[in-house]
Amino acid sequence: MKLRRSLRSLANLLGLLLVLCATTAAATPDERFAAARKAYLAEDYAEAAYQLRELPAAGEWSHGALHNLGNAEWKVSRPGYAILAWERARALDPFNRNTVANLRFARTQAQLIVPEPAWFEQYSQWLPSAAWLWSASLGLWGGVALLTLPRLVGTRRADWHQGVAALLLAVFLLAVPALVGLHTRGQIGVVLEDETNLRLSPTQEGESLAKLAAGEMGRVEAVRDDYLYIRAEGDRAGWVQKREFARVWP
């Protein structure tokens, strides 16, 4: 018994050492990006995609990494994952022409319906999400401060206080529709796998209402266990498995 316990303790210790070594040897984001770039230039697109997938998984989000991930996924014939990566890249940098062009090209090649978001969602794409959040915060609190602080400190409110406050509050009001668009866009996602069944009920045995192509866009309306109720273009709605669909903003 003592020998068995000693061997078990030794095995646990070795396992812990292996985990520590693997953690220590894990590549940094810069190393992964460099390895992906080297693999992509060598036309080893599968390795490039593997390296770039690890960056978002580790919480390292950047436009460059997501854009290049989309390129690599497209090269290995995974259009759903490529469009997801490019949509995420566009969310971070809506002005990047290369990302927009790649999305247009991919949807044309795959003969996908171009999604038509609501006007306030299109409006929210004019600037990065952080810019809208800063504008709304600065506009609201800056305007309120200029209107209230003079009275609180016992000074007379000047005309320029009111003018600047009105301008800041106008900035806040202009940002409100964009904030609504940012919120509703959080439910928009991409179909990852081709021939994805759109089911009548959230079960594997549920009747298939239609099949969705990889790269199609949809909007999540409900969640139940491992299924999402989504609405795609053309008012097609039904249940899909979570692994077959991913939100642009997870």
pLDDT tens-digit profile of 161-213?
Answer: 788 889 999 999 999 999 999 999 999 999 999 999 999 999 988 899 999 99
Please identify which residue in the block is written with the tokens 């609504």.
180
Q: How confident is the model at residue 49 (pLDDT cuts 50, 70, 90)?
A: very high
Residue 231 near residue 221, CB atoms below 8 Å: yes
- pLDDT of 11 reads 44
* 28 vs 110: CA distance, rounded Å: 35
Residue 245 near residue 191, CB atoms below 8 Å: yes
Mean pLDDT, to the nearest integer, of 7-14? 45
- At residue 93, the 3 state secondary structure works out as coil
The pLDDT mean for the chain works out to 85
pTM of the entire structure?
Answer: 0.79
- Is the predicted pLDDT of residue 20 greater than 60, yes or no? no
pLDDT > 70: percent of the chain: 89
Q: How confident is the model at residue 3 (pLDDT cuts 50, 70, 90)?
A: very low
* 52 vs 38: CA distance, rounded Å: 12
CA 103 vs. chain centroid, Å, equals 15
- pLDDT of 25 reads 43
Sheet containing strand 217-224, edge to edge, reads 208-212, 196-199, 236-241, 227-232, 217-224, 188-191, 245-247
Residues with Cβ within 8 Å of 222's Cβ and at least 6 positions away in sequence, in order, are 228, 229
Greater pLDDT, 179 or 149: 179
- pLDDT of 163 reads 87
Mean pLDDT, to the nearest integer, of 14-37? 61
- pLDDT of 23 reads 36
- Is the predicted pLDDT of residue 4 greater than 60, yes or no? no
Q: Which CATH class is domain 188-247?
A: mainly beta
pLDDT > 90: percent of the chain: 56
- pLDDT of 16 reads 40
- pLDDT of 244 reads 95
Nearest CA to 38 out of 85, 3, 2, 72 is that of: 72
61 class by beta-carbon count within 10 Å (0-12 exposed, 13-18 middle, 19+ buried) = middle
Q: Which CATH architecture has domain 2-109?
A: Alpha Horseshoe (1.25)
- Tell me how far CA of residue 208 lies from CA of 71, 98, 187, 196, 237, in angstroms: 32, 37, 23, 9, 11
What's the 3-state SS for 97-115?
Answer: HHHHHHHHHHHHHCCCCCC
Mean pLDDT, to the nearest integer, of 132-154? 87
- Is the predicted pLDDT of residue 73 greater than 80, yes or no? yes
Asked whether the CA dihedral 124, 130, 135, 140 is positive or negative, the reply is positive
Residue 184 near residue 249, CB atoms below 8 Å: no
CA 29 vs. chain centroid, Å, equals 18
Please identify which residue in the block is written with the tokens 């669909």.
245
Mean pLDDT, to the nearest integer, of 225-236? 92
Q: How confident is the model at residue 66 (pLDDT cuts 50, 70, 90)?
A: very high
